[in-house]
Chain A
Amino acid sequence: MSETAISVVKELMGSVDLQSVPVTLHSTLEKHQEHLLSLAVSLIDSGVPDEVAKQVVSDVLDSFKIELFHTIRSLREASDAL
């Protein structure tokens, strides 16, 4: 597996505040991290420059983080409603 891809994804995932993510969503986040890694590897292997691959993975992660925030909020609201 490409060392560059691993370091790209590791660096980007560092921006996710795990403390704020409920335990029930950790496996979802781990799975997404694996998929980001596959994406980074496939981009770099196909000859896409590292910086471009990093930007693509970063864009995908940013979108996911927004939806993750909505999900966390929905789960909290549902929990409060019980």
Chain B
Amino acid sequence: MRCKFSDDENGRIRALERLQVLDTPKEEPFEKIMSLVKQTLSVPICAVSLVDKERQWFKASRGLDVDETPRDISFCTHAIKSLAPYVVTDACVDPIFAENPLVTGGPKIRSYAGIPLTMSDGYNVGSLCAIDTVPRNFTDSEIAILSSFANIVVDELELRQLASKDALTGALNRRAWFEAANKEFERARRYSRPVSFLILDIDHFKSVNDQFGHSAGDEVLRHFSKTVSDELRQSDILGRYGGEEFVVALPDTGIANAKLLAERICEAVRNIRMEEINGNTCTVSIGVAERLPHEVAAETLVERADVALYQAKSDGRDKVICSDNRQDDFPRDAAA
């Protein structure tokens, strides 16, 4: 059975990046799972393999002396295309793997069982694999054990992701948003691609809390966050910046399209009818800024968006203001 998202490689890579686990140090829970897999299945090699664009990177492993291999020779790149366990009983006679350098050379893989690591959003980010250096028929019981351990690995990965989320709205918390936004900013800088940030502030939110209570205020924040999230692409990054203040990083987006998106968000927020505030609506002010060619820190981009937000508030709220009005300077806008 093929994975539902097997054709959405960009979405899969984004899902992997959202975990923020690539190239992180060794961690005890994954090391422990490796020891248990090796022991219970009696295999010389096992790994938690995360399949990146061009490589597979091992969060943890046993019996391997490298941290990564090129993706095109990895067994796990085949495993992640499936929802079912991927098993190779004898790689030396398998037409796909017989000439594979991991088979003909070290670590001399002969048999392989890989269970896709399927996250809650449906993407297979990697696999938990058990490898032997002799031909082997992995039994149903062994596959069941390996599958159970794969579920445990996913639990561990998702628990780390939860630590980065705002519990009320599901948006990234401030620290996690800055980490993710910094990566997008650096990517934009390195490849001379546009990136824009939005800062959004719900208008008159204090009066919602004062008039309807904090529970109603929390519901407004949830509605607001979902409304904004519904307008974003998979690659955009939403964070909760402060009480009623949110931030969005828009990769590959110049200021013209960022402004269009911000105006769509304003419109969508205007149209929410919230029972918690007696069917009233709320509005939002948004500051927009695109990275300038000389800009080297994500913080300064946030600051410019913040200045634009201040201007939107001063100009009467419920509107979008762009930093520097530089729409004409970036014709290479890639976002729709």
Contacts and interface: CB of A to CB of B under 8 A. Distances in A.
Interface of A: 22, 24-25, 28, 31-32, 35-36, 38-39, 42-43, 45-48, 56, 59-60, 63-64, 66-68, 70-71, 74-75, 78-79, 81-82
A28 B155 contact: yes
B233 interface: no
B137 interface: no
Interface string B147-164: 111011001101110111
Contact of A56 (B40, B147, B162): B40
Given A24-B167, A35-B151, A67 B141 contact: no
Given A28-B162, A67-B156, A75-B163, A42 B174 contact: no
Interface residues of chain A: helix, strand, loop or mixed (majority):
helix
Contacts of B196: none
Contacts of A47: 141
Nearest to B35: A59
B26 to A, nearest CB: 13
- By Cβ-Cβ distance, the 9 closest A-B pairs, closest first, are A46-B141, A63-B29, A39-B148, A78-B173, A74-B163, A42-B144, A35-B151, A71-B163, A24-B167
Contacts of B166: 78, 82
B160 A67 contact: yes
B204 interface: no
A48 B162 contact: no
Nearest to B155: A32
B33 interface: yes
A82 B36 CA distance: 40
Contacts of B222: none
12 contacts: A28-B159, A32-B152, A32-B155, A38-B144, A42-B145, A43-B145, A48-B40, A60-B32, A75-B162, A78-B167, A81-B173, A82-B243
A54 to B, nearest CB: 13
Contacts of A63: 28-29, 32-33, 156
A23 B167 CA distance: 10
A59 B163 contact: no
A38 B156 contact: no
Given A31-B155, A56-B40, A70 B145 contact: no
Most buried by A among B28, B139, B162, B175: B162
Contacts of B240: 82
B242 interface: yes
B158 A81 contact: no
Most buried by A among B145, B155, B243: B155
A48 B147 CA distance: 16
A80 to B, nearest CB: 11
Contact of A75 (B28, B139, B167): B167
A50 B167 CA distance: 38
Contacts of B164: 74
Given A28-B155, A48-B40, A35 B144 contact: no
Given A66-B29, A67-B29, A79-B167, A43 B40 contact: yes
A63 B32 CA distance: 8
A60 B36 CA distance: 9
A68 B36 contact: no
A68 B167 CA distance: 14
Contact of A64 (B159, B173, B242): B159
Contacts of A48: 40
B160 A71 contact: yes
B142 A22 contact: no
Contact of A39 (B142, B149, B163, B173): B149
Contacts of A31: 155
Contact of A46 (B145, B152, B162): B145
Contacts of B36: 56, 59-60
Contacts of B33: 60, 63
